[in-house]
A and B are shown apart, each in its own frame.
Chain A
Amino acid sequence: NAGVTQTPKFRILKIGQSMTLQCAQDMNHNYMYWYRQDPGMGLKLIYYSVGAGITDKGEVPNGYNVSRSTTEDFPLRLELAAPSQTSVYFCASSLAGATDTQYFGPGTRLTVL
């Protein structure tokens, strides 16, 4: 039981490049979330999903896209990377909503130069 896994751990992008951050969970959780954590700040919700095929915007969705074709996977796509997207990205999952325990991945540290 690996929990929530994220790849890559680190990445440096040039302005305008695109990439996909991978997230997978093996706990059969319905809910999955993407957050970004900027230095000295709390977590901001980018997108979330309440089940396969269903996604919704969070607080800061601009510049990102998601898909949820399976229960296990919830990739985050960055199109046309900008320096403002330099951050640490966390994926999380929970069984039945945000009042359930959220399980976080180890994070992806992204730098856009």
Chain B
Amino acid sequence: GDSVTQMEGPVTLSEEAFLTINCTYTATGYPSLFWYVQYPGEGLQLLLKATKADDKGSNKGFEATYRKETTSFHLEKGSVQVSDSAVYFCALVARNRDDKIIFGKGTRLHILP
């Protein structure tokens, strides 16, 4: 079935470091891909998305490119801040199942000042 695999956490970085959180997917056809972020004590919120191959989603300095060749949607940021500390979820919506989203297990990110 459709699934999302993302790197295990926690990931700990110093402020201003470069961030990559890996995400790969398994799905029939070409799904829509998402990154959601969950700040401490809050619900999830959409960070960025891409709906077709080679699309790049971006928001708040974060970027992710939809790579169909490698079935990947890795999240990157050039210079992280303490305020980026959160749990990041990669997710997909299958092309023929618009009614629900499949989340990965989440990657916890700690940024040290």
User: How many angstroms from the CA of A92 to the CA of B43 in the assembled complex?
Assistant: 9
In the complex, whether A79 has a CB less than 8 A from a CB of chain B is: no
Q: Would you call B43 and A90 a contact (CB within 8 A)?
A: yes
In the complex, per-residue mask of B44-56: 1 if CB is within 8 Å of any chain A CB, else 0: 1110010100000
CA A41 to CA B6, docked complex, whole Å: 12
Report which of B43, B49, B99, B105 forms a contact with A56, defined as CB distance below 8 A. Answer: B99
Number of A-B contacts (CB under 8 A): 56
Flag whether B100 is at the interface (Cβ < 8 A). yes
Q: Does A48 contact B (CB under 8 A)?
A: yes
How many residues does chain A have at the interface if contact means C-beta atoms less than 8 Å apart?
24
Contacts of B69 in A (CB 8 A): none
A90 to B45, alpha carbons, bound, how many Å?
Answer: 12
> Is the CB–CB distance between B101 and A102 below 8 Å?
yes
Any A CB within 8 A of the CB of B64 = no
Contacts A42-B89, A42-B106, A43-B89 hold; do A98 and B101 have CB atoms under 8 A apart? yes
Query: What is B's interface to A at a CB cutoff of 8 Å?
Result: 32, 36, 41-46, 49, 51, 89, 93, 97-101, 103-106
